[in-house]
């Protein structure tokens, strides 16, 4: 069984100063692959609660597993001194403060370099570190709209629609995690730290991918297509006798195989559907004709027949069905984390698979209560029992 010390990031120390979802998503990537992550939580009087819920909820447990927590008042002189000791021993500091708050707390990159020349500062924001919107609060819902994502999501004529997940938060978090890994590789060669940053808006504009390139290259503004693919026809959601399935006969060969597998010979021979361009120009009619065929079959039969014929086809599950699916069960997308009060929690593992570093059989820490490791971490920083007691008495640490 792989232990945390055998994971590829086990030699790195990470200081987590983030809130909400995007920053913790980046830190989770590092924590899951072995980094020693210390999360700074505010003392109770300053804790305004997290937008993701209290620490013992499923969301925060999934975000903050494999971390240790120190409750610290960063605004006090004593708290600032503890923070400086943490920075001096860290490889990476991850934060999502506004620029003025960063400077006030001594967390600007130039300030950090004075304490630790090899430090990597990783920052995440809604709209970037400078520019006209840099001081705006940025949350997933707002960025889904401003990036154009909502304008291409949903059915034509029914108005913009958000996706069902916090996609701009998690996208930006994953990109920041990748940026941190790039900076660590760069430091291996040069010995130099650097400032890595991204934002929700940058992440989502990149995530638009081919839809964005349709505008930047072809000057074409994409529109909503509902469950249909914007540029490939046919591909989408179709009726079955007992519900719906997704089918993607994207190439001419697949289209022919689709028609053969379901006995739809009239569709295969229809001159309107012989070429990709013609299928594209008859999108509404071909979708209607496919629905007339697929509605004669149960979903399971469509999935079996079409996949045997080399045509991508899959059921439409709710989240519970997705996790109970045999392939997902085989992949073991969860691992247990033992919480002292909540018991064994099944949390979502990293989707990255490394042949030399198999996933540990369990997470080594459940999400900590705020300050759960305060004494332990202060002792590691060189504070004696009397000093720790004094910090607690002053309300600097909890």
Residue 293 tokens read as: 């065929």
Residue 219 tokens read as: 């000057």
> Quick check: 213 and 199 in contact, CB under 8 A?
no
318 catalytically annotated: no
- SS3 of 206-218: the string is HHCCHHHHHHHCC
Catalytic residue among 73, 169, 287, 289: 169
Active site residues: 169
């Amino acid at each position: 069984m792989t232990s945390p010390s055998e994971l590829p990031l086990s030699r790195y120390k990470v200081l987590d100063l983030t809130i909400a979802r995007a920053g913790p998503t980046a830190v989770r990537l590092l924590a899951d692959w072995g980094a020693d992550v210390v999360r700074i939580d505010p003392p109770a009087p300053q804790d305004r609660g997290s937008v993701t819920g209290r620490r013992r909820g499923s969301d925060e447990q999934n975000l903050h597993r494999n971390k240790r927590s120190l409750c610290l008042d960063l605004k006090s002189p004593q708290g600032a001194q503890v923070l400086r000791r943490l920075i001096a021993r860290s490889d990476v500091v991850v934060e999502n403060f506004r620029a003025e708050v960063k400077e006030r707390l001594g967390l600007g990159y130039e300030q950090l370099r004075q304490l630790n020349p090899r430090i990597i500062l990783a920052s995440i924001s809604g709209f970037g570190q400078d520019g006209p919107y840099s001081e705006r609060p940025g949350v997933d819902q707002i960025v889904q709209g401003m990036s154009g994502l909502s304008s291409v999501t949903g059915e034509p004529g029914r108005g913009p629609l958000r996706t069902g997940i916090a996609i701009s938060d998690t996208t930006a978090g994953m990109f920041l995690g990748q940026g941190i890994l790039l900076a660590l590789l760069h430091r291996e060669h040069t010995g130099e730290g650097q400032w890595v940053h991204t934002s929700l808006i940058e992440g989502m504009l990149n995530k638009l991918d081919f839809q964005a390139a349709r505008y930047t290259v072809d000057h074409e503004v994409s529109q909503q297509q509902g469950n249909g693919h914007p540029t490939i026809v046919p591909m989408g959601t179709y009726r079955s006798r007992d519900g719906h399935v997704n089918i993607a006969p994207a190439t001419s060969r697949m289209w022919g195989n689709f028609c053969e597998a379901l006995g739809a010979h009239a569709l295969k021979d229809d001159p309107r559907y012989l070429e990709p361009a013609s299928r594209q120009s008859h999108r509404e009619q071909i979708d209607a004709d496919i629905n007339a065929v697929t509605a004669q079959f149960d979903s399971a039969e469509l999935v079996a027949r079409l996949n045997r014929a080399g045509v991508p086809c899959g059921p439409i599950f709710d989240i519970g069905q997705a996790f109970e699916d045999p392939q997902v069960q085989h992949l073991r997308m969860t691992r247990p984390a033992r919480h002292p009060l909540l018991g064994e929690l099944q949390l979502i593992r990293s989707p990255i698979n490394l042949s030399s570093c198999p996933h540990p059989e369990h997470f080594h820490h459940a999400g900590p209560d705020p300050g759960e490791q305060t004494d332990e971490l202060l002792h590691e920083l060189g504070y004696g029992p009397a000093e720790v007691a004094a910090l607690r008495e002053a309300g600097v640490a909890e």
